[in-house]
Structure 1
Amino acid sequence: MERLQKVMAQAGVASRRKSEEMITQGRVKVNKETVMELGTKVSPQDDIEVDGVPLQREAPVYYLLYKPRGVISSVKDDRGRKVVTDYMPEIEERLFPIGRLDYDTSGLILLTNDGEFANKLMHPKHKIDKVYIVKSRGIPTREQIKQLKKGMEIEGEFLKAEDARITSTDGKRNTAIIELTLHQGKNRQLRKMFDTLGVPVDKLKRERYGFLDLHGLNAGDYRPLKPHEVKQLRQLADENVK
């Protein structure tokens, strides 16, 4: 038996707090009866409806995908472009990505059908390290690297890297490889920051998410997360939002 709002959150209806609001608003039925008590517990055999729509419950699953460039971080695209779930056709569960990677960015992205887990990791205070590798057209100066860590106002948003360091340069080609750590996950954040510095991004890849990396995977490959990895991610997010 689990609390009704937890089951709703896991099914991706809404966050647990929003699910509680939906219950108290009388929008949820269990076995055809409207339920407004937040302490209500349900079993896997109970029928749940939200706004008249039956709740589809699945066992929670968790995957890590090495997203290639030129792929949308979504489950469908109205322009017919490739989406992340195209690389996992044999997975029967209804997956969705946790957060996003830009169309032109490759690297590590997580997918699940556990809405509560996804909301926990995407909490604005989670502060989970996300490590990116940038190949730049131009070699940033020491002051520009400092500026990335200090932060900058762009289009009304304050964007910053938690850490940034040049790992290699190529003077002949005028390129550099920079490793950056982000806690934020703003749309096209690193590309905007580098464009503001006048050092455009040529290639961008997310190498790590927390303690997870792409070891043993090629672009387009995926693997299920191990139970201890899921537990560790939950603990990491809980620690960071306290």
Structure 2
Amino acid sequence: RVYYLLHKPRGFITTASDPEGRPTVLDLLQGVRERIFPVGRLDWNSEGLLLLTNDGDLAYRLTHPANHVPKTYRVKVKGLVGPAALEAVRRGLFLDGRRSLPAEIRRISAQSNSWLEVTLYEGQKNQIRRTFERLGHPVLKLRRIAIGPLTDRTLRPGEFRGLTEEEVRRLKEPR
């Protein structure tokens, strides 16, 4: 089994191949010979950490909603996010007819726009973008900075590295 951590840049699709010919995250993993796949998704306009592997059991564990694996994002949104909006995210709000799980959120800075750190415990499609759009604060930038225990501030967009045995062990630990 192999495990890679990629800093996905904006402008790449999170899939193994694309019928429209757009660049995929696998295009960035030059030299990797094994057949691997992305675990979860980051949309075209988002960047940040993405795990790629050929370990289907681990991928299932990390993406199944019942496991509540935390994923942390640094988010820049339009405008000043007030206490009521922060509390709505903490409580969870209705998206597509169902309430999202409560999330952790903290304001990092706020001037004309707000920088936030958001930790989700589920992975609804475009959840952060849809949440802040609904609250009147469209997302301007979105970067995933952690997947469970995995972080890496040294990876630049487009760079990847193999996981250490310790990182793989920590990902496989029951929560």
Aligned to 2:36: 95
SS at match of 2:145: strand
Mapped to 2, the partners of 1:194 and 1:160 lie a distance apart of 15
Aligned to 2:62: 121
Mapped to 1, the partners of 2:98 and 2:165 lie a distance apart of 37
Aligned to 2:148: 210
| Deviations 1:186-226, CA, capped at 9 Å, x for gaps | 11000000011011100000011112112211000000001
Tell me: higher relative CO, structure 1 or 2? Use CA pairs within 8 A at least 6 residues apart.
2
The question of 1:61 aligning with 2:13 is answered: no
Mapped to 2, the partners of 1:69 and 1:214 lie a distance apart of 17
Aligned to 1:181: 119
Contact 1:131 1:182 in 2 (8 A): yes
SS at match of 1:125: helix
Aligned to 1:154: 95
SS at match of 2:57: helix
Contact 2:74 2:143 in 1 (8 A): yes
Mapped to 2, the partners of 1:96 and 1:217 lie a distance apart of 19
Across the aligned residues of Structure 1 and Structure 2, the Cα RMSD in angstroms comes to 1.1
TM-score normalised to the size of structure 2? Answer: 0.96
Mapped to 2, the partners of 1:161 and 1:218 lie a distance apart of 30
| Deviations 1:7-48, CA, capped at 9 Å, x for gaps | xxxxxxxxxxxxxxxxxxxxxxxxxxxxxxxxxxxxxxxxxx
SS at match of 2:131: helix
Mapped to 2, the partners of 1:206 and 1:177 lie a distance apart of 13
**Aligned AA for 1:220?**
G
Aligned to 2:136: 198
SS at match of 1:213: coil
Contact 1:135 1:176 in 2 (8 A): yes
| Deviations 1:78-121, CA, capped at 9 Å, x for gaps | 11111111001210100100111111110000000111121121
Contact 2:63 2:69 in 1 (8 A): no
Misfit runs of 4+, over 4 Å: none
% identical aligned pairs: 38
Mapped to 2, the partners of 1:178 and 1:161 lie a distance apart of 16
Mapped to 2, the partners of 1:152 and 1:129 lie a distance apart of 18
Higher alpha-carbon deviation: 153-162 or 201-210: 153-162
Mapped to 2, the partners of 1:106 and 1:180 lie a distance apart of 15
SS at match of 1:121: helix
Aligned to 1:17: none
TM-score normalised to the size of structure 1? Answer: 0.70
| Deviations 1:167-194, CA, capped at 9 Å, x for gaps | 1012xxx201011110111110000000
**Aligned AA for 2:41?**
R
Q: CA deviation at 1:123?
A: 2.1
**Aligned AA for 2:27?**
D
